Structure 1
Amino acid sequence: MSIRETGGRVVAMPSRRMALEQAPDEVLCRAFLDGEETAFEVLVTRHQALVFSLVRRYVSRPEDAADLVQGAFLRALEASQRVFGRFTRLGPAPFRSWLVRIALNLARNHARQGQRWRPVLVEAVADDVAQAPGESAQESLERAERERRVRAAVLALPRRQREVLTLRIDGGLPFKDIAQTLGITENNAKVQFHHAVKRLKASVDGPEEKG
């Protein structure tokens, strides 16, 4: 058998673990409610890289990002009995969007408590800024200046544009999921992303503002 009961607990055997790893989120949520603890472990494994890539923009140290990731999953675990049941009744589980909201809230709270947000979206907007082999001193200075201008522009973005940009570039989320995560329409998410990228590219490619 792929599942056995030990001490009143449902334990997933290796073959069952493989099946869970291929199951969609809503099946994992349902399995966890039914007592299969491994299902939550699979959810963690599946989504922890996404959560880390999002929260690391709000911290200066990788260990702080790891703490936020752990905190996000602990919050999800604490709320699972209440929230997972709602997922299964509604059909496909919006687990990822719900988890992202938890993670972003924790990250924003962390940033408000004195930690500076660290935007490093340079390569996504100006993908030619990485140092090339044989780069001259002048080229290196120009590259560094482009990076500085993009970082300044990201910091200057309105909060919503910054969030959409992060979810789209760091998280790789489709606009439908971004909209669900932030509580906005899909079209609004696309508009916010368009404006954010336009402003960042203008900061990289346009003349530097005087002032």
Structure 2
Amino acid sequence: MKTVAVVPAYDEEDRIGDVVKEVSGFVDRVFVVDDGSTDGTMEYARGAGAEVLTHGENRGYLEALKTGFQNVDADVFVTLDADGEMNPRYIPDLLEPIIGGEADLVMGARRDIPRFSEKILNSIAGLKTDISDTGTGYRAIRASLAKEMELRGVCPCGSFVLEAVDLGADIVEVPVMNRGVEKPRGVAWKHFIQFFYILKMLIFG
């Protein structure tokens, strides 16, 4: 199977090079989607060996994922953040259920979910799925499924997994340990908007 990492990035010149170098040891190709960065993210990513897709302006995380999914040939995508929080050593664990034919989507379940509002979205999405961490950005997904997804919402919290459920995907999760990159806690304003997307998906699909 051809495995490709898709890494959305916005103004991550300080960390993207190290992320690309680490991830490259676990997948066949690495694509960084530079989401309208105003710094040297694109140059540092290329310098580290990644192939780069670019947005002329900042369009958001989900749009960056769409660009990667729709423009890259692969059998399986691995997605992770550009800030170095996600340890690439878990990539084989994410890929194994897909390569073994047991799953279409594998979520990397974090032990610590930083934002309270994200925990609330997890609870709401849990009305339709037993996945404990629906907002993680660390995942492996069969490319045929990824290319079907509309990726609705303002972030992937809850909605990514719910859309995969609606498409009939087999979903599992594996535990991952994040590294010590400081993450905001409390409440994110976009999660208020995301609440209504999730609610709509639960009611109307």
Instruction: Find the structure with the greater CA-based Rg.
Output: 1
Q: Which has the higher helix share?
A: 1
TM, length-normalised to structure 2: 0.29
Between the two structures, name the one with larger relative contact order (CA 8 Å, sep ≥ 6).
Answer: 2
Q: Which has the higher strand share?
A: 2
